[in-house]
Structure 1
Amino acid sequence: MFDTDAAIPGTGSYEWHLDDDKLFWSRGLLELYGLKHPPDRAADFFASVHPEDRQRIREEMAEVCADADTFEHKFRIVLPDGRVRYLLDRGLVVRNAHGTAVRLSGVETDVTDVVDARIFPKGRAPEGGVVLGDAEILDAVFNDAPVGIGIWDRDLKFLKINPLLAEMNGLAPEVHIGKRAEELLPDVREIAGVAKLLQDVLDSGTARRDVEISGSTPARPSERRHWNEHFFPIRSAGRVAGIAAIVEDVTEARKAQETIDALLHELNHRSKNLVSLILAISRQTARSRPDDFLPVFQSRLESMSAAQDLLVRRSWQDIELEALVRSQLPHFAELIGNRIILRGAPDVTIPAPAAQSLALAFHELTTNAVKYGALSNETGKLTIAWQLSPDGTLLQIVWRERGGPAVSQPSRKGFGSTLTVGMLQSTLGGEIDVDYSSEGLTWSLKFKLRG
């Protein structure tokens, strides 16, 4: 299944590979037929065609494959719920070097509401039915199609343009007639190349599909727009008499794809950074804590995961410092407000890049408090306070423990010191002070939030 027409209601496209009888349908065509899965082969497709139209369509397709380059069919389909819809099917025949038809590529449009009558085989209509002529049907489809349609003569001057394409160009339909595209739309990017492409289609008689053109038009002179266009020759009396084009404005889809590409690039960058950080933590943990590597390493990963969850929920925007602190105290939530005091404005936020480093530092400080400090007994207290400078550019965080066992300067620096001091200095450019007073540990960090 392919999806070139998902944004065009009532229209769907397909390809029929004749050599292996395989059908490929767009999402729009599935919706048009009311199906969840595309048919595998032509025989399955004909099951949706109205019984009275099947034999005629089979015969017309056989004639097309024999000697045509383009085709057009009008027929009815029966939806799974029993409703009848009326379709206009137009497309191209692709042949191999021997001239044998190998693929049909077409676009089907639901014209039920447009013509407001049933489409039947020539000369057949039920009681009370209305038989519309080809000119009436094509005129209705041309004027009300959900895509832009333009027709040029052999001098590449507009012969006809439907209201939607005229609206895309920002010029009245009558202004186009008798004018070349480069006269009307000089700000379309490489308009000379577009004119050459039209001439090539005219000279070769070969269709060109999925041509992307961009630029600005009088409709929106200050905005660059993008269009996906299909050009095909119009034949009369055995010769190419002109050119037609189907035009879709794909600007919003293009913008959405660019946004997705940027997000994927950013995700790839962050994933690499995250993997590098995990590898560094694993190596340092293995070096400093070989005897209990697994639980220590797991707890550090859980700390990173908690911070990651916060960032994802906030779409990698700034996050509240208090929320980050709480994410690193999941097992002590009941102590917050009693033995653990959080003191600071709740609306203070930190940039997303600082969150991972701070989370690991808070986790390490919490682990040490549980093992050796204020949270290792039943009476110790922990205060975590933060404050912005008057101009809002600097943030100071103070971690103060009191009431725990007597504290002394550690005899050596382990990886915990790297997480709470070294990494923050390198990633945040922070000023860090650690006081191992006998009353309890005091750790403070000051860093610049923004310039």
Structure 2
Amino acid sequence: MLIASIPAYQVRAGQAWCNGSRSVLASAGTNATSGGPMSSSWRAGGRLGVLRSRLSRPEADAMTTPSLILAGCLGLLLGLLGLLLGPPAMPAEGGQAITLHPMLWFGLGLGLPFLVGAGTLLRSWQREKTLRAEKLALEARLRMVAELSHAFEVSAVILRDADGTVRHWSTGCERLFGFTAAEAIGQRAHELLGTRFPDGGRRAVQESLAAAGEWQGELRHRRCGGTPVVVAAHWIQRHGGAAGAVVEVHADATALKAAEAALRAGEARLRLAQEVAGIGTWEWDPETDRFLWSPEHSTLFGTAPGGAAPVTLEGFLALVHPDDRAAVRAGAWRALESGEYEAEFRILRAGRDGGEETRWLLGRGRRMPGPAGRVGPILGVHMDFTARKEAEERQSLLMREVDHRAKNALAVVQAVLRLTKADTAQEFGRAIEGRVAALARAQTLLTESRWMGADLNAMLHGELDPFLGNAGSTRVSFDGPPLTVAPMAAQPLSMTLHELATNAAKYGSLSAPGGALELRWNIDQANDRLRLRWTETGGPRIAAPPTGRGFGSRVIRTTIHDQLGGEVVFEWQPDGLVCLMDLPLGRVVARTDSGRRA
């Protein structure tokens, strides 16, 4: 609920009116019931005239002079009587009498006026002191009257009876609500304004007002034209001078409510941005070594929002990877001098599979100004940029891999050119073109997988489809589990398959209309081996194994043995070639992110 700050003089205005200060206003020339202005004579300095009349007190001066004259006459008469009657005698112990000199009576007579005058002057001084104190109190009272007059004139102040009947309607109310004083006075205030009370309704407000003597809160009124207005209200009720009377001071809070709504919307957008971007905010006060962070920051570190958070810098550093703690600590203390905090570090948190995972965080912060003589806190953010960090590392690895693969491909091309033999230039060109195309197809598969590996099924289709035409699906069959070839093995294996397919198309089963090809593979987990079996049937009959080694067989043997670390066996059956390849699983099959073989 909104509680606006209402000026103190407005509250004092209401308290004074409820406590019976209308008499004060009236004595100073103010009409308390109608809210009229104070008289011009009072504004022109009537206060001083009142004070002077109180201090002059002519009746005191009129009494002082006759008293002194009377005291003087009595003193002279007493002295003369003493001279005429002679010295009187006063009885004493032992029968002797004490005689008083006549001049003593004369002296007493002359001193009496002085004693009377001194007492009169003392009383006058005390009276003046009292009047001066009354002057100061009266001036303070008059200043309050001036404040009341200003408050009643410019502020939205309603003076009403306990039943709600309006007795005073200030010009501030006219500006705020649009109703004139003539339209409002005599009406029920909350019926006129269509007041909407907070939770609990009007009864709850009245009970609070009766119990505490005042109430503060937010009300919704309706202006003269029907437009709504939100106000911060302060009601005061006293049971002294004006029994049951209530003063209501109102302040327009519509703009403030709109600002609060905009602030809440901004905070909601900020929270959403932090959640979507994975950004957490934090604050560290070096004076108290107090470390605070937001719920989004808890999510970054794998702790429950609202749960236990580190309360010191060292408590926060305990969550940082041990190898990065010193750098983060140095960055935090360096920020106290430079004013800027920057850090890249790793954290260890619980993973989804129950294990521990490493995440990369990027930190940015700035030292805020502090009070005089104190160091201000550092405010900052941390965001998870693990994906970007891994992408950068993968890019660097790929750049090195591409460089290595390009050099290898060029070396293979050079070997192909050097070892390829043909009777004509056309045959030489076709052989070179096919072998380089096999390397290119393997390169394409690796690029599509971002160099994570090449699918074996896709690789087989890429090498065999050009030789099969539309009847490929009936002449060739594959049988084996899904398998991803490692990047380092993709091009050598692709070259091997290309040589086998070329040989089958020229001399083996794919050269005859009824020939067929079957390729099977399986994984021997116990021995960590991958075994492939290439079987051709239905081709030209083989009377005897070939006596020499052609370029294709030399490429296959060299590739399998030197580049893949495996073994290859050629079995020349009468019905066709059978090629057995035994390859190390670790060098040929790619690993997934979980560490398993793909």
Range of TM-score over shorter length: 0.5 to 0.7
Q: Which runs of 5+ in 1 are unaligned?
A: 1-126
Q: Counterparts of 1:254 and 1:402 in 2: how far apart (Å)?
A: 55
Secondary structure, counterpart of 2:549 in structure 1: coil
Q: Counterparts of 1:381 and 1:217 in 2: how far apart (Å)?
A: 59
Q: Look up the match of 2:593.
A: none
Instruction: Decide whether the 8 Å contact of 2:350 with 2:357 is kept in 1.
Output: no
Q: Look up the match of 1:328.
A: 464
Query: Which structure 2 residues correspond to residues 304-343 of structure 1 after superposition, within 5 A?
Result: 304-311=439-446, 316-317=452-453, 319-321=455-457, 324=460, 327-336=463-472, 340-342=475-477
Q: Look up the match of 1:363.
A: 498
Shift of 1:447: 0.7
Q: Which AA in structure 1 matches 2:464?
A: Q
Q: Counterparts of 2:518 and 2:582 in 1: how far apart (Å)?
A: 16
Q: Look up the match of 1:381.
A: 515
Judged with a 3 Å threshold, the aligned counterparts in structure 2 of structure 1 residues 414 and 389 are, in CA distance, closer, same or farther, namely: same
Q: Counterparts of 1:175 and 1:359 in 2: how far apart (Å)?
A: 56
Q: Look up the match of 1:430.
A: 567
Matched, 1:244 2:381: no
Q: Counterparts of 1:283 and 1:218 in 2: how far apart (Å)?
A: 51
Shift of 1:246: 1.1
Q: Counterparts of 1:143 and 1:402 in 2: how far apart (Å)?
A: 71
Structure showing greater radius of gyration is: 2
- Candidates 268, 271, 278, aligned match of 2:400: 268
Instruction: Decide whether the 8 Å contact of 1:379 with 1:404 is kept in 2.
Output: no
Q: Deviations over 1:169-202 (max 9, x none)?
A: 759889879x532256534356566555444443
Matched, 1:445 2:577: no
Instruction: Decide whether the 8 Å contact of 1:428 with 1:447 is kept in 2.
Output: no
Q: Counterparts of 1:402 and 1:219 in 2: how far apart (Å)?
A: 55
Shift of 1:418: 1.5
Instruction: Decide whether the 8 Å contact of 1:320 with 1:346 is kept in 2.
Output: no
Q: Deviations over 1:414-451 (max 9, x none)?
A: 4212223332233241231242x7x5652421314638
Which stretch shifts more, 271-280 or 307-316?
A: 307-316
Shift of 1:276: 1.2
Q: Counterparts of 1:272 and 1:444 in 2: how far apart (Å)?
A: 30
Q: Look up the match of 2:552.
A: 416
Instruction: Decide whether the 8 Å contact of 2:281 with 2:382 is kept in 1.
Output: no
Query: Which structure 2 residues correspond to residues 220-259 of structure 1 after superposition, within 5 A?
Result: 224-236=358-370, 241-250=375-384, 253-259=385-391
Judged with a 3 Å threshold, the aligned counterparts in structure 2 of structure 1 residues 173 and 219 are, in CA distance, closer, same or farther, namely: farther
Q: Which AA in structure 2 matches 1:430?
A: E
Shift of 1:332: 1.3
Instruction: Decide whether the 8 Å contact of 2:518 with 2:536 is kept in 1.
Output: yes
Query: Which structure 2 residues correspond to residues 108-147 of structure 1 after superposition, within 5 A?
Result: 129-130=255-256, 146=274, 147=279
Q: Counterparts of 2:269 and 2:576 in 1: how far apart (Å)?
A: 78
Q: Counterparts of 2:531 and 2:542 in 1: how far apart (Å)?
A: 29
Judged with a 3 Å threshold, the aligned counterparts in structure 2 of structure 1 residues 152 and 402 are, in CA distance, closer, same or farther, namely: closer
Instruction: Decide whether the 8 Å contact of 1:369 with 1:375 is kept in 2.
Output: yes
Which stretch shifts more, 390-399 or 213-222?
A: 213-222
Q: Counterparts of 1:245 and 1:151 in 2: how far apart (Å)?
A: 5
Aligned residues: 314
Secondary structure, counterpart of 1:366 in structure 2: helix
Q: Counterparts of 2:351 and 2:544 in 1: how far apart (Å)?
A: 74
Judged with a 3 Å threshold, the aligned counterparts in structure 2 of structure 1 residues 196 and 132 are, in CA distance, closer, same or farther, namely: farther
Q: Counterparts of 2:343 and 2:281 in 1: how far apart (Å)?
A: 14
Judged with a 3 Å threshold, the aligned counterparts in structure 2 of structure 1 residues 246 and 409 are, in CA distance, closer, same or farther, namely: same
Instruction: Decide whether the 8 Å contact of 1:161 with 1:173 is kept in 2.
Output: no
Q: What is the TM-score of this pair, normalised by structure 1?
A: 0.53
Query: Which structure 2 residues correspond to residues 269-288 of structure 1 after superposition, within 5 A?
Result: 269=401, 272-273=404-405, 275-288=407-420
Q: Which runs of 5+ in 2 are unaligned?
A: 1-252, 587-598
Instruction: Decide whether the 8 Å contact of 1:325 with 1:362 is kept in 2.
Output: no
| Higher strand residue share | 1
Q: Which AA in structure 2 matches 1:300?
A: R
Matched, 1:399 2:531: no
- Candidates 402, 427, 431, aligned match of 1:296: 431
Q: What is the TM-score of this pair, normalised by structure 2?
A: 0.42
Q: Which AA in structure 1 matches 2:378?
A: A
Judged with a 3 Å threshold, the aligned counterparts in structure 2 of structure 1 residues 295 and 157 are, in CA distance, closer, same or farther, namely: same
Q: Which AA in structure 2 matches 1:180?
A: T
Judged with a 3 Å threshold, the aligned counterparts in structure 2 of structure 1 residues 444 and 166 are, in CA distance, closer, same or farther, namely: closer
Q: Counterparts of 1:396 and 1:374 in 2: how far apart (Å)?
A: 18
Judged with a 3 Å threshold, the aligned counterparts in structure 2 of structure 1 residues 418 and 318 are, in CA distance, closer, same or farther, namely: same
Judged with a 3 Å threshold, the aligned counterparts in structure 2 of structure 1 residues 267 and 335 are, in CA distance, closer, same or farther, namely: farther
Q: Deviations over 1:80-103 (max 9, x none)?
A: xxxxxxxxxxxxxxxxxxxxxxxx
Query: Which structure 2 residues correspond to residues 39-118 of structure 1 after superposition, within 5 A?
Result: none
Instruction: Decide whether the 8 Å contact of 2:280 with 2:382 is kept in 1.
Output: yes
CA RMSD of aligned residues (A): 4.8
Q: Counterparts of 1:174 and 1:314 in 2: how far apart (Å)?
A: 41
Q: Which AA in structure 2 matches 1:363?
A: H
Shift of 1:329: 3.1
Q: Which AA in structure 1 matches 2:566?
A: G
Q: Counterparts of 2:575 and 2:350 in 1: how far apart (Å)?
A: 72
Instruction: Decide whether the 8 Å contact of 1:201 with 1:232 is kept in 2.
Output: yes
Q: Deviations over 1:149-188 (max 9, x none)?
A: 44444524228655544665759889879x5322565343
Judged with a 3 Å threshold, the aligned counterparts in structure 2 of structure 1 residues 421 and 156 are, in CA distance, closer, same or farther, namely: same
Shift of 1:300: 0.9
Judged with a 3 Å threshold, the aligned counterparts in structure 2 of structure 1 residues 194 and 142 are, in CA distance, closer, same or farther, namely: farther
Q: Counterparts of 1:164 and 1:379 in 2: how far apart (Å)?
A: 68
Identity among equivalent pairs (%):
17
Judged with a 3 Å threshold, the aligned counterparts in structure 2 of structure 1 residues 414 and 254 are, in CA distance, closer, same or farther, namely: same
Instruction: Decide whether the 8 Å contact of 1:148 with 1:165 is kept in 2.
Output: yes
Q: Counterparts of 1:180 and 1:211 in 2: how far apart (Å)?
A: 18
Secondary structure, counterpart of 1:155 in structure 2: coil
Instruction: Decide whether the 8 Å contact of 1:212 with 1:228 is kept in 2.
Output: yes
Which stretch shifts more, 215-224 or 379-388?
A: 215-224
Instruction: Decide whether the 8 Å contact of 1:402 with 1:441 is kept in 2.
Output: yes
Q: Counterparts of 1:362 and 1:412 in 2: how far apart (Å)?
A: 20
